[in-house]
Amino acid sequence: MGCPAKTSTRARHMTLRTKIKRNAYYDSVTLMLLSRELQNLEGVEDVLVGMGTDLNLDLARDLGLATSELEALTPNDLFIAAKIDESKTSMDVLESAFNDYLNKRAETDGDDDFQPSSLSSAIQSMPGANMVLVSIAGEYAAAEVDEALDAGLHVMLFSDNVSVEDELRLKQKAVEKGLLMMGPDCGTAIINGKPLCFANAVRRGKIGVVGASGTGTQEVTVQVHKLGEGLSQVIGTGGRDLKEQIGGLMMIQGFQSLIADPETDLIVLISKPPAPSVAEKIYQIAKTSPKPVVIDFIGGDRAAVEAAGAVPCISLEDAAQKAVRILRGEAYADFTGFSLPDEQIDRIIEREVAKLKPDQTELRALFTGGTLADEAMKLLGVHHDIYSNIPLSPEMAIENLPSGRGHICLDLGEDKFTRGRPHPMIDPQTRTEFFKSHVDGNTGVILVDVVLGFGSYHDPAGAVAESVREIRHRLAEQGKDVVVVASVCGTELDSQDLNKSIETLEAEGVIVLPSNAQAVRFTDRVLQRMKKGV
Amino acid sequence: MSVNDLFKQELKVINLGLKSFQNDLKSQGVTTVQVNWKPKAGGKKNMLNLLGRISKTKKL
Amino acid sequence: MRTLNAITAADDLLEFLGTHPGERSRIHSVYPHALNLLVGESTLITITNRADLTPMGLELSPSESFAGLARAGEEIMLGTESLRSVNAAFEVNLEGASVWQSNLRADHPPRPIEEIASLRRRLAGWLASQPATGLMPLLPRLAKLPPRIGQASGNIYSRYIAEDLAALTGAINASDWEHAQTLADRLVGFGMGSTPSCDDFLAAYLLVLKAAEMLHPGRFGWVSAFNRAIARKAENRSTLLSANMLRHASAGKTGRSHQRLLRTCLLNVKDDLADAASQVFGHGASSGGDFLLGLLCAMEWYQNAISETSKKGESAWVALQRPQPAPGI
């Protein structure tokens, strides 16, 4: 089961316990996720959840988890068979976790609060409603957004699978009515200081952001907060907004509203490079903006931004740094380095690379945030040949990886990896599996992002730390170690706690850098140092 | 009510979909209401399995 | 009394109701989108408010909700015009419901053999790009594909059953039916879920075998006996839901989306393979993936079986004119 060896003192305290639920019917994904939840509880060494068929009971026996209570089971009964340390937990705890988990998953109808059964009755029941947050299946979303806009409400559209035609039509309607239509596929916004969907807890302040990239927006807000400033409004546009067909309608709408907002003193725009006609429209607005504008069109045309009188950026962190400096009236420059002095960085790199054997030459970068993965590819992909599902060129697509050898950087939140399973920011299991399957004796350096905040898993740092433990243990059997680099996108106000997350990672020997850009830059230096020879 | 008007008001959110989003808003003291949403009767002619549709189908 | 209207009724259910008038059933289980009734010891009737109708099933409009309708154990009276709860809280009205055919039909010629190989490759490629749940981590091994990036290392169930599953597919490919039956003893009832993974895997085989029998009359005469023998194993060794599913599959009966996929694979019809596969994949969490894996393996058998010369087929048929399922060719 992949558990590290236990010491004999722990083994002495292990007891086998069984819980049986008669005539219980759950789908297999529920049971699988449930098994994992139970496996992760403190004091649980091993657990198997399944229907009481003969063969499943055989498995329980072979795993050393069977007790006499299992003998009486019928195939229509559910069993939970566990090996637990009774000084740390009990079957009651497991059962309670089991029930809690199922209740959470039930999308409960048994809610005490009134639940109107349609948008229109909801609008009637809450007269002051000003925003609708839509995360239903894409094919139904457009009709609901239509209704919301008709009723004069702003919309945050988290759903994807909405057609381009619908997006255009809905955004045109929204613009006509002076409303926000953030999305489709919009994961991050903070309106009036309230995080929506995936967003971090950050202080309020004078910097306004309009972003077409979820985790890109998150990183910028987090960096602004770290530097001691705050956010007035953070508006999302959805990933397709700046394409030709949509024409940047929401970026423009958001941009203009921030120019008009008395609480916003400086504006930051974040996106992948827009279609040229769309970029042009934005530059026109920037030229006449009375407030300073910082534009991070990730990897885009620097000169064009400058010509528009706006400030270009080389990374998300750089965008935040410049925004803060300009707000404070300080001088600014491209931030290309590290928070720590160069000599210290080099010392750390020397020490880490010294741990490696000559055949440990490969990078494994596993990201949960798409824009953060993008930032990594933009820098690392230039200096090294990186295979990826978001490659810089078609021949570097991950499918072309020569028999598993080479540098790899994956965006695990991309469609291919999230079909039928939760996004890796919500559930770390996908990345945990990739750590197991993709990290081996040829891996020299691992790079990850750890995203905190609303919507994210309750302990992403813990999940990474656990995986790092497993990897180091596995490689130690070959007499090897590995370099692990991370950044944590979060604040001390997030429920997952930035400082605690950093400590958890550092306790496992992970090198934690203060931003994604620095983590990527650090990894680049590690790779260059590795090339020179250990 | 324009975007700039929204900035001056207290956010009041109607949530259509994932309950976890509503829970997060509630935890921040935002007034919200959850819609117990179902597709309209006779909505789409070809009523396809919702789960199968949430993921994009990849063309072979 | 609340009245729910059935839009569609499966033909086998209507026949059952006609031959079991006034019989009582009990509510077996309630899901957000389905209700199962148990008749007698082991027959299930499934009422759903989604489009995926199953054999012995009824389809209601998606706007009908099961929430708070009934609890497990309540009695429901069966009739050809309606199903009525004994405490008169609700009834399901069958009048006006369209009839749906629950079994595979050979209403088109079979897909030409030249197309089967490429279809198998496309299906394998599609499946390999999906998240690997249930038995799917065994895809590279069972479909003889090179291991690909993105394949998880598997789960406790898939690792435990790998050898047994490989042995079964090997026996079937070698037409060693008796051995395959014995091997199935190691598989029926094994795996996660209310329909254990291996049962879903086997269901795909049973359906392909049945289809082969229908599409190529005279060549696969042993299928009925083999299928019955496999399905019978589930009666005591697996969940009720699974036993019903395998019983139906052994007779060539399966749900709407599965029928569509099987037709796309085996008949000479025009359809979107990825779309059909997605519909099945999204069904019932990992059940769809396990079924698809079984389908892929069964298609390998099918392709080899129909490309054998007809002379061989004839002699095999002659050799099989015995009550027991025969040893392989």
pLDDT digits (tens, 9 = 90+) for C30-84: 877 889 999 998 999 999 988 779 999 999 987 787 877 888 889 999 999 999 9
What is residue A454's DSSP assignment? B
Nearest CA in chain C to A56: C190
Is the pLDDT confidence value at C319 over 70?
no
Q: Please check whether residue C215 is in contact with residue C252, taking contact to mean a CB–CB distance below 8 angstroms.
A: no
Residue C279 binned pLDDT confidence (cut-offs 50, 70, 90): confident
- Amino acid letter, A86: E
The sign of the dihedral angle between the CA atoms of C271, C277, C278, C282 is: positive
Q: Cβ–Cβ contacts within 10 Å for residue C230, how many?
A: 24
C67-77 in b/e burial notation, b at 16+ Cβ within 10 A? eebbeeebebe
Q: Please indicate if any CB of chain C lies within 8 Å of the CB of A56.
A: yes
Give the model's pLDDT for residue B59: 34
Is the pLDDT confidence value at C241 over 60?
yes
Do β-strands C43-48 and C34-39 pair in parallel, antiparallel, or remain unpaired? antiparallel
Give the model's pLDDT for residue C146: 65
Q: Measure the CA–CA gap between C50 and B49, rounded to whole angstroms.
A: 7
Interface test with B, best of C4, C59, C120, C275 (most B CBs within 10 A): C275
- The backbone torsions φ and ψ at residue A188, rounded to the nearest 5 degrees and listed phi first, read -135, 130
C169-176, Cβ contacts within 8 angstroms, sequence gap of 24 or more: C169/C142, C169/C297, C169/C300, C169/C301, C172/C205, C172/C297, C172/C298, C172/C301, C173/C300, C173/C301, C173/C304, C174/C328, C175/C305, C175/C328, C175/C329, C176/C327, C176/C328
What is residue A60's DSSP assignment? H
User: Where does residue B34 fall: left (phi above 0), alpha (psi -120 to 50 degrees), or beta otherwise?
Assistant: beta
Is the pLDDT confidence value at C142 over 60?
yes
**Residues in chain A within 8 Å Cβ distance of B54:** 137-138, 161
Give the model's pLDDT for residue C317: 42
Work out the end-to-end distance of chain B between its first and last CA atoms, rounded to an integer number of angstroms.
46
Query: Any idea which of A392-406, C15-29, C234-248 has the lowest mean pLDDT?
Result: A392-406
- The backbone torsions φ and ψ at residue A281, rounded to the nearest 5 degrees and listed phi first, read -60, -40
| CA dihedral of residues C244, C249, C253, C256 (deg, nearest 10) | 90
Mean pLDDT of C134-155: 73
Residue B58 binned pLDDT confidence (cut-offs 50, 70, 90): very low
SS3 category, A199: strand
| CA dihedral of residues C124, C128, C131, C132 (deg, nearest 10) | 80
Compute chain C's Rg from CA coordinates.
20
Query: Is B11 within 8 Å of A178 when comparing Cβ atoms?
Result: no
C-alpha angle with apex A414: A408 to A415, nearest 5 degrees? 130
Q: Which residues of chain A have a pLDDT value below 50?
A: 1-10, 107-112, 534
SS3 category, C83: strand
Q: Measure the CA–CA gap between C101 and C260, rounded to whole angstroms.
A: 12
Is residue A436 packed enough to be buried (19+ CB in 10 Å), middle (13-18) or exposed (0-12)?
Answer: middle
Nearest CA in chain A to B15: A133
Q: Measure the CA–CA gap between A515 and A224, rounded to whole angstroms.
A: 11
- Nearest C-alpha of chain C: how many angstroms from A421? 7
* Six token digits for residue C292: 């698809």
Query: Is B52 within 8 Å of C126 when comparing Cβ atoms?
Result: no
**Residues in chain A within 8 Å Cβ distance of B39:** 140
Give the model's pLDDT for residue A174: 97
**Residues in chain C within 8 Å Cβ distance of B40:** 63
Give the model's pLDDT for residue A7: 42
Give the model's pLDDT for residue A114: 61
Q: Please indicate if any CB of chain C lies within 8 Å of the CB of B37.
A: no
Give the model's pLDDT for residue A113: 53
Query: Any idea which of A64-73, A266-275, B5-14, B35-44 has the lowest mean pLDDT?
Result: B35-44
3-state percent helix, strand, coil for chain C, nearest multiple of 5: 45, 15, 40
Give the model's pLDDT for residue A38: 87
Q: Measure the CA–CA gap between C212 and C113, rounded to whole angstroms.
A: 12
Mean pLDDT of C88-104: 91
Query: Is C274 within 8 Å of B42 when comparing Cβ atoms?
Result: no
Q: Please check whether residue A380 is in contact with residue A520, taking contact to mean a CB–CB distance below 8 angstroms.
A: yes
Provide the CATH number for the domain formed by A186-327 in this structure: 3.40.50.261
SS3 category, A485: strand
Give the model's pLDDT for residue A479: 95
Mean pLDDT of B15-43: 81
Mean pLDDT of C240-269: 94
Q: Measure the CA–CA gap between B48 and A359, rounded to whole angstroms.
A: 51
Task: Give the domain ranges of chain A.
Answer: 8-105, 186-327, 342-532
Mean pLDDT of B20-27: 88
**Residues in chain A within 8 Å Cβ distance of C150:** 398, 416-417
**In chain C, how many H helices and how many E strands?**
12, 9
| Averaged pLDDT score across all residues of chain B | 71
Q: Pick the more confident residue, C143 or A331.
A: A331
Give the model's pLDDT for residue C93: 94
Q: Measure the CA–CA gap between C129 and C148, rounded to whole angstroms.
A: 9
C13 membership: H or E segment, kind and range: helix C11-19
C-alpha angle with apex B24: B21 to B27, nearest 5 degrees? 150
Q: Measure the CA–CA gap between A227 and A316, rounded to whole angstroms.
A: 14
SS3 category, C48: strand
Q: Please check whether residue A264 is in contact with residue A208, taking contact to mean a CB–CB distance below 8 angstroms.
A: yes
What is residue A490's DSSP assignment? -
List strands edge to edge, sheet with A386-388: A386-388, A407-411, A362-367, A443-451, A483-489, A511-513
Q: Is the peptide bond before A184 cis (omega within 30 degrees of 0)?
A: yes
Give the model's pLDDT for residue C148: 56
Query: Is A196 within 8 Å of B44 when comparing Cβ atoms?
Result: no
Q: pTM score, two decimals?
A: 0.56
Q: Are A186-327 and A342-532 in the same CATH fold? A: yes
SS3 category, C238: coil
**Residues in chain B within 8 Å Cβ distance of C51:** 46-49
Token pair 């209601």 in the structure block, residue: C60
Is residue C283 packed enough to be buried (19+ CB in 10 Å), middle (13-18) or exposed (0-12)?
Answer: buried
* Six token digits for residue A382: 């230039």
Nearest CA in chain B to A112: B34
Q: Which of A217, A197, A281 is nearest to A243 (CA)?
A: A281
Query: Is C283 within 8 Å of B53 when comparing Cβ atoms?
Result: no
Q: Report the residue from C274, C280, C283 with minimal CB separation from B60.
A: C274
**Residues in chain B within 8 Å Cβ distance of C282:** 49, 51-55
Give the model's pLDDT for residue A476: 95
Nearest CA in chain C to B58: C274
- Amino acid letter, A289: S
Fold of the domain built from segment(s) A342-532? Rossmann fold (3.40.50)
Which residues is A367 bridged to in the sheet? A411
- Nearest C-alpha of chain C: how many angstroms from A53? 5
Interface test with B, best of C60, C261, C278 (most B CBs within 10 A): C278
- Amino acid letter, B42: G
Q: Measure the CA–CA gap between A183 and A167, rounded to whole angstroms.
A: 8
Concatenated DSSP letters of B18-57: -HHHHHHHHHTT-EEEE----PPTT-SSS---HHHHHSPP
Is residue C174 packed enough to be buried (19+ CB in 10 Å), middle (13-18) or exposed (0-12)?
Answer: middle
CATH architecture of A8-105: 2-Layer Sandwich (3.30)
Q: CA of C119: how far to CAs of A324, C23, C136, C277, in Å?
A: 57, 46, 19, 12
